[in-house]
Structures are given as structure tokens and as C-alpha cells.
Amino acid sequence: MDVRVNDILVMKKPHPCGGNQMLVLRSGMDFRLRCQNCGREVMVPRVKIEKNIKKIIREDEE
């Protein structure tokens, strides 16, 4: 799956704060994501994130 830095991921399950959009800060074996709703940053393994992505919003498509 082609996920790049500054992409916004719309997730199937929401973050505990209620937001379901995450900004990609770092990609590799792990992703560093920032919740667009509360601003919390989390590190999550790639395998877990790829299963949970509903849609990718690219920075250049806006």
C-alpha cells in the first residue's frame, strides 16, 4: 500500500477521542500518526494500520 508522509488516512475505527482522520508524520515499518481531532501522536505497526485504512486523502489532490 502506498502511504506517504502528509497523507491523511480515514480509518475504519475511530480514535478514542472520536476522530477517524490521522495525518501521517512518518512511514516505514511503523507509522507515526497524529489524530486530526485531538492532536495526539501514536506509533503503530504498518500491518495493523494497513488493515484499518478506509480511504487515503493525498495532500496534492486537495
Rounded Cα gap, residues 47 and 62, in angstroms:
27
Which residues are CB-contacts of 2 (< 8 A; sequence separation ≥ 6)? none
pTM for the predicted model, two decimal places: 0.87
pLDDT of residue 62: 53
Q: Residue 23: which pLDDT band, with cuts at 50, 70 and 90?
A: very high
- Asked if residues 7 and 24 have their Cβ atoms less than 8 Å apart, the reply is yes
CATH number of 8-61: 2.30.30
User: Where is pLDDT greater, at 62 or 51?
Assistant: 51
What would you measure as the largest C-alpha separation in the chain, in angstroms?
Answer: 28
pLDDT in tens, 30-55: 999 999 999 999 999 999 999 999 99
60 pLDDT higher than 90: no
Domain boundaries, the chain: 8-61
Rounded Cα gap, residues 48 and 58, in angstroms:
20
pLDDT of residue 18: 92
